[in-house]
Amino acid sequence: MAKYHILSLDGGGLRGLITVIILQRLNAEPGLKGWIDNVDLVAGTSTGGLLALAIAKGLDLQTLRDLYAVKGKKIFDDSWFDDVVDLGSIIGAQYSNRNLTRELINIIEKTTLGDLQKCVMVTSFDLDNEDPDPKKRSWKPKVFHNIPGQANDDSMLAYKVALYTSAAPSYFPAVDGYVDGGVFANNPSMCALAQTQDSRNTARPALSDVVLLSLGTGTSLTYIKGKNLDWGLAQWVKPLISVMMDGVNGIADYQCKQLLESHYHRLAPKFPPGVSIPLDAVKRVPEMIDFANNVPLDDTVAWMKAQWI
């Protein structure tokens, strides 16, 4: 039976460092070395989209680790001048994307999706489809991909797509009208699975041939106490994004599990109770490294040896 391998990478900002370290650890496991070479489709959202594009280009994992651990401070650089102009991010994004753009061009170069070595799928959200028909003009989810067939995005510059998927609302400004795909698919596993079944593809793998490994960037054990919350905008603004993202992560996990059964595995490590690491936690890079190095991998390794290899 021919297998079709999908690697799916969640969003999570600087916590993408955790994903990279887990990928490195899996690659170092006896019997798994070079397993990433078998990936047929690498999918990602936000920081996971950035990683997906870089992996599809063939970049080594250490280069990607350095992007987070060494250059993350430059990417999430909030100058005092920006704070003054944006009134402390009340009326503007917290960070400029200038440094992120520079680093992306550095590592991905001006490569198009069609030039990449692997098939890739990256989520984003189009704030205005600019349809000339006012009855059709609206915002909509957008999935960029280079899967052979009709209506792919082979001509798109990879670094541009990386900027689109990484434009987290309030953190970075929108780019060309696109924002972070995490607003609808922070866990892109189900999007990736559905994309393989698109009738416009040149070839479609049977669902029974698909094996899918989904990696999260660290989950906080978050909850809101109270049974009858009479909250308004002021109370909901802060937790609402987390509520939405955790919700879509969970439903994508459930859907893939039902469709693929034993051919699907998700590793979404949980932070200890009371621990939460924001998307831009530059000062907590050592903590993230320590956490990623101690995530138990036994179940994931066993699944990969049974299903992936």
- Rounded Cα distance between 262 and 61, Å, is 27
Evaluate if residue 249 carries a pLDDT over 80: no
3-class DSSP state for residue 231? coil
Supply the pLDDT for residue 262. 97
CB 300 within 8 A of CB 248: no
Supply the pLDDT for residue 241. 67
Q: 76 pLDDT band (50/70/90 cuts)?
A: confident
Q: 90 pLDDT band (50/70/90 cuts)?
A: very low
The total number of residues written for the chain in this structure: 309
Q: And the tokens for 83?
A: 């704070």
CB 4 within 8 A of CB 209: yes
Q: And the tokens for 33?
A: 């070395």
Q: 78 pLDDT band (50/70/90 cuts)?
A: low
3-class DSSP state for residue 257? helix
Return mean pLDDT, the chain: 90
Q: Partners of 267 in the beta sheet? A: 215
Q: 244 pLDDT band (50/70/90 cuts)?
A: low
Work out the average pLDDT over 27-45.
95
Roughly what angle, to the nearest 10 degrees, separates helices 98-108 and 158-166? 140
Q: Residue 282, Cβ neighbours under 10 Å: how many?
A: 15
Work out the average pLDDT over 239-245.
68
Would you say the pTM of this structure is higher than 0.85?
yes
Comparing CA positions, the residue from 267, 292, 264 lying closest to residue 5 is 264
- Rounded Cα distance between 25 and 29, Å, is 7
Supply the pLDDT for residue 137. 96
Work out the average pLDDT over 74-97.
60
Q: 83 pLDDT band (50/70/90 cuts)?
A: very low
